[in-house]
Amino acid sequence: MTHIRPTNEKLFNDAKRHIAGGVNSPVRAFAGVGGVPVFVQRAKGAYIYDTEGHAYIDYVGSWGPMILGHAHDKVIDAVKAAAEDGLSFGAPTPSETTMADLICQIVPSIDLLRMTSSGTEATMSAIRLARGYTGRDKIVKFEGCYHGHSDSLLVKAGSGMLDIGEPTSKGVPADFAKHTVTLPYNDIEALTACFEKFGDELACVILEPIAGNMNMVIPSHEFHQALRRLCTEHGVVLIFDEVMTGFRVGLGGAQAHFGITPDLTTFGKIIGAGLPVGAFGGQREIMECIAPLGGVYQAGTLSGNPLAMRAGKAMFDELTGEGFYESLSKKTDYLIKGLKAAADKHGVPFETCAVGGMFGIFFTDQLPKNFNDVASRCDAKKFAKFFHGMLDLGVYLAPSAFEAAFMSAAHTYEDLDKTIEAADQVFSQL
Ligand SMILES: *Cc1c(COP(=O)(O)O)cnc(C)c1O
C-alpha cells in the first residue's frame, strides 16, 4: 500500500511562513532528494507516524539518539520523574555526577568531562581547549567530516593541497578559516605531508573516527595508527568527534573499535537519549585548562540539564545490559545483507557497510574510501528515487545520500524483513 501525503505540502507551506526554509535544521527540508518533508506527529519503538497516521519504519532515529527506539518506556518515565522535580536549576545536581561517572567508566580515555547542550558546542569547546592547552592556533580536519556549525569547522580545503582553508559558509571570516587545514579522509600520505609542513604549529586534529556525515566511511586501522603516532610526536591534541559514533558503533565507541586512545573526545546525540545534550572530555591534564580550573572559558546556562541527565542515565542502564550491542549488530548485518541481496537480484550497483548500530548504503559498485569517492562515484539520482520509493512503502531513510543510517533495539526482524521486501520492490523499478 502506497502512502500518499496530501497535507504535508500545506504543513510545509505553513512552516515556511515563519521558520526559515520551513525547518530548524537544513537537511530536514528534503533538498537532497526533492519533494516535501514528512511532518511527524509521534513515534514509538522503530516507527514514526506522520500527521495523517501513516507508519514508517524509521532508520534515522533522530539522526542517531534513538538507539533504544522512540519513546522508550524507561526513558520517558525518567523524564517525567525529572520534570516533576523541576526543569533546570543552573546549579549542580547529583545526576550530572552520575552521568559523568558512567561515561568515564565506559570510556577509559576520559578522566574529566564537561556537559554541553549540543554536539556543536562540544566540538567548538574541545577545539578552544586544544588551542588553549597547546598555545597553537592551527587545526586539522578532514573533508566530509562534520563537527557541527562553529566557524573554525565550516571550512574546506583551499585550491591546492595544504593550502589555507576556505569557508564553506558565508559569514565565516576568511581570517578564521585560514587556521583550519582540511585534508582528505583516510589518507596517510596527505596526513604525513601535513605534519611535515605544520606539525609543530598544530593545536589539534579533529575527526569522526568512523565518518557518518558523508554517508558512512570506515577508515583503515593504519590511518588511525598514523594519526595517533603523529599527534603524539608533535604534541598535537587528537580529538575524536564521537558525537555520532559514541555508544553507537559499540558501547566504547569508535575508539574501542579501533583500540586507539584519543586525547579528547566529544559526544552528543545518544547521551541525551533524544534531549539536547553534548559532552567533551579526555585527559585530565588537558581538561584542567577549562574554567574554573584553568584559563579556557566555557559555559552553558542549560548545560547538564537534569531532564537530559536523567534520561541519559535511564538509557545507559539499557545500553550496558548483557548482549545489547551484539543483538544490535546482528540486526544491522541482517538488514544490509538482505538489502544487498535484493539489489544484486535486480542488477542494481549497491554497496553497504556497518559497525554496530550504524550503517551506510551506496548506489555504486565500490565502497567509498573518502568524501570524493562518495560525491563522485555514488549515484545520487538513484538514491533519491530509492528514497522516495521506500518512503511511499513506509520506510523512512535519511533524506540525503550523504547520511548514515541507524538501527535501534526496537527494530524487530519482522521490521527488517518488511524493509528488505520494500527495497526489493523499489530496486526492481530503478
Ligand atoms: C551531529 C554531529 C555534530 C553536531 O551535533 P549537534 O548536536 O547537531 O550540534 C557534531 N559532530 C558529529 C560527528 C555529528 O554527527
Model confidence pTM above 0.95: yes
Say how many CA atoms lie within 13 Å of 182 toward its Cβ: 23
CA of 340 to the centre of ligand 1 (A): 29
The answer to whether 345 and 99 have CB atoms below 8 angstroms apart is no
Q: Is 134 in the pocket of ligand 1 (CB under 6 A)?
A: no
CA of 240 to the centre of ligand 1 (A): 12
Burial group, residue 80, by CB count within 10 angstroms (0-12, 13-18, 19+): exposed
Residues 6+ apart with CB under 8 A from 204: 126, 127, 130, 131, 134, 139, 140, 236, 237, 238, 239, 264
Q: Which of 269, 302, 406 to mutate to test the pocket of ligand 1 (most atoms within 8 A of CB)?
A: 269
Ligand 1: residue whose CA is nearest its atom 10? 147
Q: Which residues pair with 47 in a beta bridge?
A: 44, 57
Q: Is 209 in the pocket of ligand 1 (CB under 6 A)?
A: no
pLDDT digits (tens, 9 = 90+) for 360-419: 999 999 999 999 999 999 999 999 999 999 999 999 999 999 999 999 999 999 999 999
Whether residue 162 is predicted with pLDDT greater than 80 in this model: the reply is no
CA of 118 to the centre of ligand 1 (A): 7
Q: Is 146 in the pocket of ligand 1 (CB under 6 A)?
A: yes
Whether residue 159 is predicted with pLDDT greater than 70 in this model: the reply is no
- Within 10 angstroms of residue 392's Cβ, the number of other Cβ atoms is 17
Q: Is 244 in the pocket of ligand 1 (CB under 6 A)?
A: yes
pLDDT digits (tens, 9 = 90+) for 239-270: 999 999 999 999 999 999 999 999 999 999 99
pLDDT digits (tens, 9 = 90+) for 275-295: 999 999 999 999 999 999 999
Q: Which of 152, 241, 243, 267 to mutate to test the pocket of ligand 1 (most atoms within 8 A of CB)?
A: 243
pLDDT digits (tens, 9 = 90+) for 76-133: 999 999 999 999 999 999 999 999 999 999 999 999 999 999 999 999 999 999 999 9
The answer to whether 197 and 164 have CB atoms below 8 angstroms apart is no
Going edge to edge, which strands form the sheet with 112-116? 112-116, 278-282, 264-267, 237-241, 202-207, 138-142, 180-183
Using DSSP, state whether 373 is helix, strand or coil. Answer: helix
Instruction: State the Cα angle at 316 between 313 and 321, rounded to 5°.
Output: 140
The answer to whether 152 and 167 have CB atoms below 8 angstroms apart is no
Whether residue 60 is predicted with pLDDT greater than 90 in this model: the reply is yes
Percent of the chain at pLDDT exceeding 90: 93
Ligand 1: residue whose CA is nearest its atom 8? 119
Band (pLDDT 50/70/90 cuts) for residue 1 is low
Residues belonging to the active site: 146, 241, 269
Q: Is 268 in the pocket of ligand 1 (CB under 6 A)?
A: yes
Mean pLDDT score, 310-322: 97
Average pLDDT over all residues of the chain: 96
Burial group, residue 192, by CB count within 10 angstroms (0-12, 13-18, 19+): middle
pLDDT digits (tens, 9 = 90+) for 27-37: 999 999 999 99
- Within 10 angstroms of residue 366's Cβ, the number of other Cβ atoms is 11
Q: Which residues pair with 211 in a beta bridge?
A: 217
pLDDT at site 165: 81
Report residue 2 CA to chain centroid gap: 31
pLDDT at site 157: 79
Q: Which residues pair with 290 in a beta bridge?
A: 296
Whether residue 4 is predicted with pLDDT greater than 80 in this model: the reply is no
Q: Is 243 in the pocket of ligand 1 (CB under 6 A)?
A: yes
Q: Which of 141, 146, 303 to mutate to test the pocket of ligand 1 (most atoms within 8 A of CB)?
A: 146
| Among 395, 397, 414, CA closest to 406 | 397
Q: Is 258 in the pocket of ligand 1 (CB under 6 A)?
A: no
Q: Is 242 in the pocket of ligand 1 (CB under 6 A)?
A: no
CA of 265 to the centre of ligand 1 (A): 13
pLDDT digits (tens, 9 = 90+) for 165-199: 888 899 999 888 899 999 999 999 999 999 999 99
Instruction: Please identify which residue in the block is written with the cell numbers 550491542.
Output: 325
β-pairing verdict for 155-156 and 166-167: antiparallel
| Among 356, 318, 320, 360, CA closest to 336 | 360
